[in-house]
Amino acid sequence: MDEGAKGRTLAEADLAVTPELLVRLTGALGTDSGARTATLVPSFAATVGGETTVVDGLGMDLSRALLGGLGYEWERPFVAGETVHVRVTVDDVFTKGSNQFGVVVAEYTGSDGALVQRQSITFVERVAQA
C-alpha cells in the first residue's frame, strides 16, 4: 500500500437514495427487518467511485489483501427520494509487523450539509517479501 495516500480523496459523488434502490436492497436482505436495514446502509462506500477506485487509490495488491473490518456511525437513516453527497478519503495507511493497513472513510451528507452516515473500511495487506 502507498503510505503517501493518507489524506487523499478517492471519490466524491451525489447519490440518489431511490425507493427502487431501497426495495431491491430490502429484497436482497430477505429478513423481516430488511426494509429498515435498507435505510441504514444503501451503499458500500468502497464502490462509490467504481470497483477499482479504492484498490488503485491505496496502491493495494489484491493478491495479498483482504477486508479487515467495517464500521458505521449513523446520525439518521437515509430517506427514500433524497440525494446525498458522499466523499471517500484515505484516513490512514500504516505498517504493523508484516502487514499494512489502509483505512478508508466515507462521509455521507444530506442536502443541508449535515452528516447522515460515516463508514470506515479497513483493508489489510501482507507486506511483500523481498
State the pTM of this model: 0.84
CATH number at 101 reads: 3.10.129.10
| pLDDT exceeds 70 at position 44 | no
Amino acid identity of 65? Answer: A
Query: From CA 90, how far away is CA 20, in angstroms rounded?
Result: 30
Q: Are 100 and 111 in contact (CB under 8 A)?
A: no
Query: From CA 122, how far away is CA 74, in angstroms rounded?
Result: 18
Mean pLDDT for 29-42 is 78
Phi-psi region of 8 (alpha: psi -120 to 50; beta: other; left: phi over 0): beta
Structural domain boundaries enclosing 10 = 3-126
pLDDT for 42 equals: 65
| pLDDT exceeds 90 at position 47 | no
* DSSP 8-state secondary structure symbol assigned to residue 105: E
